[in-house]
A and B are shown apart, each in its own frame.
Chain A
Amino acid sequence: METLKRHFFSDMSVMLGRSMRHIFRSMDTIITVTIMPIAFMLLFVYVFGGAIQTGTDNYVNYLLPGILLIAIASGIAYTAYRLFMDMQSGIFERFHSMPIARSAVLWGHVLTSLLSNAISVVVIIIVALIMGFRSSAGVLSWLAVAGILALFTLALTWIAAIAGLSAKSVDGAGAFSYPIIFLPFISSAFVPTASMPPVVRAFAENQPVTSIVDTIRALLSNQPVGNDIWVALAWCLGILIVAYLFAMRAYKRKAA
């Protein structure tokens, strides 16, 4: 047992290397998780943006937080997909019949999700900079943004793990992500919630994405974050814990 614990990190890094290779070798993953959100950003800034009244003159600044969340939400669909494919093929059983830390197999997928989403977030921010995104935020604010995005990724990753571990088909493994990708559209990500009809507005203002978007937006523009950051953190942590527990239960059931 001792030796297994000692090897946990090296086993996990082998798993990480494996699924990162998967990502870089499948064009559709790269297209969906980076090019799609960038296309959204171009579309909203250069097509719809002129007609949207946000009260700022730099719509890229306004839009970026929501685009990042959409990128992460579409990225985790692939986490579920990769996990599902591993369960389907014999490779999961091979790993589990080997003298390695069993949890390293699952954590490898979680770490891959964090790393690959971090890469796509960075790429999207670079494109946003080219499109005129400017931020006066200091290092601490940027770290806070990174922290919130990482927490959001982790929370969604565990939801993806539930889907990947318990889905019956490939389509099922990815389907859970559509409502999550859609959530930013009914939030303050693209337009101020004040412009929405009362019922939609009530939903938009009380769902997790709005508080997260508002927090990131405030951090990037050096505005006071107020209560939003605590609401955002509470949402992320709450989802993270609940999803983690369910994912672990699904994992234990699969890996008797």
Chain B
Amino acid sequence: MEKAIEVKGLRKSFKDIEVLKGVDFEARRGEIFALLGSNGAGKTTIVKILTTLLKQDGGTVVVNGFDVVSKPDHVRQSISLTGQFAAVDEILTGRENLIMIAKLRHFTNPRQIADDMLKRLGLTDAADRRVSTYSGGMRRRLDIAMSLIGKPRLIFLDEPTTGLDPEGRNEVWKTVEELADNGTTVFLTTQYLEEAEQLADQIAILHDGRIIVNGTLAELKKLFPPAKVEYVEKQPTLEEIFLAIIGKKEEK
């Protein structure tokens, strides 16, 4: 299968602190790749280097077949970034945000594209409200919608559900799954193990500046002692109670 991302020996320091000490991984086209790590592990640094926002100190990074150092324009042409903080314009409406991005991607029919995106991500009702009135989940969905314009082959989502309530998180998860179903490669960073387990085809764990484990969920599970059968009374989690009360059952 073709590779969407190839990272070899990636190093990056900030002043005296070595954040990345030789990171290696590959992501295949069409899969959801989750980079897992605790706060401050360097996940965002990796995303910034992969999206040409930051230059590495050493190693090679090839995104969609283009080297990020020698061909940054080609890389930018083929990716989209949804950063850690929702990259939306709060003062504009949802529709205006989408039209703006469509214009910046030089489409001739920005309004049509905005309408399609609003429909696709279920934001049509809120289209003409200012983004500052949106909930966290809606803001993230708009954020992702903006990243989808231009059909990039690869989408970066940097901690897409951090700070969202369970409802908003479920909305985002559903969107990410739909993306992958349509063949887009998704590179996702998260600090929630549950999120990686839920979404990812391939999981890499970043710890102390290196990738310490890399594989599918099944492969990772093999690293641990075999499962044994125990009988435990299944109590509803507080989250399930919360979602049941507000009338939104998880779609799993």
Interface residues of chain A, those whose CB is within 8 Å of chain B, are: 1, 4, 7, 10-11, 14, 17-18, 21-22, 25-26, 89-91, 93-100, 255-256
Which residue of A26, A100, A256 is within 8 Å of B104 (Cβ)? A100
B190 within 8 A of A: no
Write the chain B residue with the least CB distance to A92: B87
Main secondary structure of the interface of A (DSSP, over half): helix
A46–B208 Cα gap in the complex (Å)? Answer: 69
Interfacial chain B residues near A14, Cβ < 8 Å: 100, 103-104
Q: Are A93 and B104 in contact (CB under 8 A)?
A: no
Q: Are B91 and A93 in contact (CB under 8 A)?
A: no
Q: Are A90 and B91 in contact (CB under 8 A)?
A: no
Can you list the 7 inter-chain pairs with the closest CB atoms, starting with the nearest? A90-B87, A90-B83, A94-B87, A97-B81, A90-B85, A99-B76, A97-B51
Closest chain B CB from A1 CB (angstroms): 6
Query: What are 26 A-B contacts defined by CB distance under 8 Å?
Result: A1-B73, A4-B73, A10-B103, A14-B100, A14-B103, A25-B130, A89-B88, A90-B84, A91-B89, A93-B51, A93-B53, A93-B81, A93-B87, A94-B81, A94-B82, A94-B87, A95-B104, A97-B80, A97-B81, A98-B80, A98-B104, A99-B105, A255-B53, A256-B53, A256-B54, A256-B55
Q: Are A98 and B76 in contact (CB under 8 A)?
A: yes
Number of interface residues of B (CB under 8 A): 33
A20–B55 Cα gap in the complex (Å)? Answer: 33
Interfacial chain A residues near B83, Cβ < 8 Å: 90, 93-94
A13–B48 Cα gap in the complex (Å)? Answer: 27
A18–B106 Cα gap in the complex (Å)? Answer: 16
Write the chain A residue with the least CB distance to B86: A90
Interfacial chain B residues near A99, Cβ < 8 Å: 73, 76-77, 105
A4–B101 Cα gap in the complex (Å)? Answer: 15
Q: Are A89 and B85 in contact (CB under 8 A)?
A: yes
Closest chain B CB from A167 CB (angstroms): 17
Q: Are B53 and A98 in contact (CB under 8 A)?
A: no
Interfacial chain A residues near B100, Cβ < 8 Å: 14, 17-18
A90–B157 Cα gap in the complex (Å)? Answer: 12
Write the chain B residue with the least CB distance to A17: B100
Write the chain A residue with the least CB distance to B49: A256
A11–B101 Cα gap in the complex (Å)? Answer: 10
Interfacial chain B residues near A97, Cβ < 8 Å: 51-53, 76, 79-81
Q: Are B55 and A94 in contact (CB under 8 A)?
A: no
